A = this chain, B = another copy of it.
Amino acid sequence: MHNCLVAQSGGPTVAINSSLAGVIQGAIDSRQFDRVYGSLNGVQGLLNGKLMDLSQKTEEIPMFIELLKKSPSMYLGSCRYQLPDYTDDDAPYAFIFNKFKQFDIGAFFYIGGNDSMDTVAKLSAYAKQINNPIKIIGIPKTIDNDLCVTDHTPGYGSAAKYIASTLLEIGHDTSIYPINSVTIVEIMGRDAGWLTGASALARNEYNSAPHLIYLPEVPFHETEFIEDVKSALKKYNNIVIAVSEGIKDESGRYISATSAVEDTFGHSQLSGTGKCLEYIIKQNLQVKVRSVEINILQRSAAHLSSVTDIGEAFRLGMHAVKTAIEGKTGIMVTAVRRTNNPYVVDMGETDVKNVAGLIKHVPREWINERGNDVTQDFIDYAYPLILGEPVVKYQRGIPDYLNISHLYPNP
């Protein structure tokens, strides 16, 4: 029997540890692997020999798995390491495959976004090239939901739930004064508007916030925006605007890079979109305005995750082990939505080449014509993904998550 190896990469989500838990559980249940190794900080752990035996403490596994499923961020840490093309430089490949051999790795599971799927593609192609039978499987994760083929990505549902709940709470917060106000909420998503669109799920029988929604998929026009705000203020005292950090103008330039915000610090990081819109409103309308950037909270708030999301992340981890045992390699496991009502999702898989380096945008027809809201189709798509609340344990008043001191340099 061989061992298997699992690693995490890219940015954190609330569900990525649940996929890790699924891999561990799947590998143990299969009885096809001696040990489940975890590589710290993605493939870097392999390069510098930082591996953890995740299957060692057998008697504690059920508790560990349960807590892991509900713990935020990345238990194994992350990396931004990008493999070179092996035809240009195969030295890292030789090193990695030597490590695979040293630790007797029969299958490698890599949980990540489309950069990580690029790594899966390269490693599996190299393995094929050198006739190494190792199975290399990608497991999707990203709050951005912008991976192709899979119906949606683990991490998205929880972030969407957090965003919708937060927008509802902001709706309550902004309604208290009988004066006009505008609150802009900047949401993550450089290239795709999936997260920002999920803010529409905040609407209920009484709450109509957010009143305007702007996604990166539609060019942003300042004059139309001002008109939209004016028009909304005729209907509502306090309007809430959800905007993606990645909105761009007609020429494809990020809005956050076009304003004075950049000039102050002399760098163009995408954290100023909300501030830009705040500035535009201040310049053009006499109204109280503030901007709120949800920032990293939307990807790390495990206290408010979606049971649907956490459950599917776990199933994808289990399914990845199954596909490896079936002899598949160079694939990414996927969520396949069979029916929407009732919501039924099967596990599937796709050649990782169909995913690596590609981006899935919100379809134009799921955005209204004016480009300032999503349609019912979008809502029907996103709604099942945010359902269900896990029981989160608290200790001393704060959530009881898994100890991650192994990630610290001086534990």
- A-side residues, CB < 8 A to B, are 12, 41, 44, 71-74, 77-80, 161, 164-166, 168-170, 172-173, 175-178, 183, 201-202, 204-207, 235-237, 260-261, 263-265, 267, 271, 279, 282, 290, 292-297, 299-304, 306, 383, 386-389, 394-399, 401, 403-405, 407-411
Contacts and interface: CB of A to CB of B under 8 A. Distances in A.
Contacts of A394: 389
Contacts of A175: 73, 77, 404, 407-408
A172 B41 contact: no
Nearest to A165: B398
A397 B306 contact: yes
A119 to B, nearest CB: 16
A173 B296 contact: yes
A386 B397 contact: yes
Contacts of A411: 206
Nearest to A279: B265
Contact of A80 (B72, B177, B271): B177
Given A71-B172, A383-B397, 6 more contacts: A79-B178, A161-B398, A164-B397, A173-B300, A201-B397, A237-B408
A176 B282 contact: no
20 contacts: A44-B178, A72-B169, A77-B177, A78-B177, A79-B177, A165-B303, A165-B398, A168-B398, A169-B303, A172-B300, A172-B302, A173-B296, A265-B282, A271-B290, A290-B296, A292-B296, A292-B297, A294-B297, A304-B304, A389-B394
Contacts of A166: 297, 301
A204 to B, nearest CB: 7
A206 B400 CA distance: 11
A301 to B, nearest CB: 6
Given A295-B293, A302-B169, A77 B178 contact: yes
Nearest to A41: B178
Contacts of A397: 161, 164-165, 201, 306, 383, 386-388
Contacts of A177: 41, 77-80
A409 B181 CA distance: 13
A206 B304 CA distance: 22
A404 B206 contact: yes
A154 to B, nearest CB: 16
A179 to B, nearest CB: 9
B410 A176 contact: no
A398 B201 contact: yes
Contact of A236 (B264, B386, B404, B409): B409
Contacts of A44: 178
B204 A395 contact: yes
A383 B394 CA distance: 13
A168 B399 contact: yes
B73 A404 contact: no
A287 B203 CA distance: 40
Contacts of A300: 169-170, 172-173
A258 B243 CA distance: 29
B173 A237 contact: no
A78 B41 contact: no
A310 to B, nearest CB: 13
Contacts of A408: 175, 206, 236-237
B265 A206 contact: no
Contacts of A295: 292-293
Contacts of A294: 297
